[in-house]
Amino acid sequence: SYELVQPPSVSVAPGQTATITCSGDKLGTKYTCWYQQKPGQSPVLVIYQDTNRPSGIPERFSASNSGNTATLTISGTQAMDEADYFCQAWDSYIAVFGGGTTLTV
Amino acid sequence: QVQLVESGGRVVQPGGSVTLACVATGFAFSSYDFHWVRKGPGKGLEWVAFLRYDRSSEYYADSVKGRFTLSRDNSQSKVYLQMNGLTSEDTALYYCVAEYNRNDGLVYWGQGTLVSVSS
């Protein structure tokens, strides 16, 4: 079965750039999405089709996907960005999630 | 306004059964595929099951295959997850998720309903 691997945790100082990676075999050939989940809340889609931001998601969220690695970048990280982040790709009809990364600001 | 509201979560004994329901409002229910995704205590998101909008395809995670069944009632805008043979590994918050185009990601999530398997 297909697997996505994320670092368990990432720390960043306020105002700095946070980078969260997601690795999978030939991940660059699949569309990757990213979800943000804060405690007690449902996941929120922050990136779809590798690089696109849904309406309402701040411009400081960006992403890329190439080779075996997708990357979520948060520029000028704010305290409100502290959350768990999950990458996700499709393996046929199955949604495969990474293990999640806790971002500490 | 899009809303997905799950219900049915409860404490159940090992080996028991429970049926979760998800009622959807605010969008064209019959055109959307549905998934259930769960988050166990201290765990990440785990995809559980998928049912196509026209019921033509359904898929299950290996961990639940043969025990869980996903169904839908387009006339009532409801999706159901029948869960049998529950074990402690099934303890989780279960989210109902609607998808229109997988390339656009999983946009609509419910608030989740908690299933706790315990004796």
User: What digits encode the pLDDT tens for the residues B28-59?
Assistant: 999 999 999 999 999 999 999 999 999 999 99
Residues of A at the B interface, defined by Cβ within 8 angstroms = 1, 31, 33, 35, 37, 42-45, 47-49, 54, 84, 86, 88, 90, 92-100
Contact between residue B79 and residue B72 where contact means Cβ atoms under 8 Å apart: yes
Query: What is the distance between the alpha carbons of residues B50 and B97, in angstroms, rounded to a whole number?
Result: 9
User: Given this model, what pLDDT does residue A92 score?
Assistant: 86
On the 0-12 / 13-18 / 19+ scale of CB atoms within 10 A, B109 is buried
Mean pLDDT of chain A: 97
User: Given this model, what pLDDT does residue B30 score?
Assistant: 94
User: Given this model, what pLDDT does residue B34 score?
Assistant: 97
Whether residue A93 is predicted with pLDDT greater than 90 in this model: the reply is no
User: Given this model, what pLDDT does residue A43 score?
Assistant: 97
Q: In degrees rounded to 5, what are phi and psi of residue B25?
A: -140, 155
Contact between residue A62 and residue A40 where contact means Cβ atoms under 8 Å apart: no
Tell me if B104 and A49 make a contact (CB, 8 A cut-off).
Answer: yes
Strand-pair partners of A91: A94
Classify A42 as helix, strand or coil: coil
Smallest Cβ distance to A54: which of B46, B62, B107?
B107
User: What digits encode the pLDDT tens for the residues B56-88?
Assistant: 999 999 999 999 999 999 999 999 999 999 999
Mean pLDDT of chain B: 96
Amino acid making up residue B10: R
Smallest Cβ distance to B95: which of A42, A45, A94?
A42
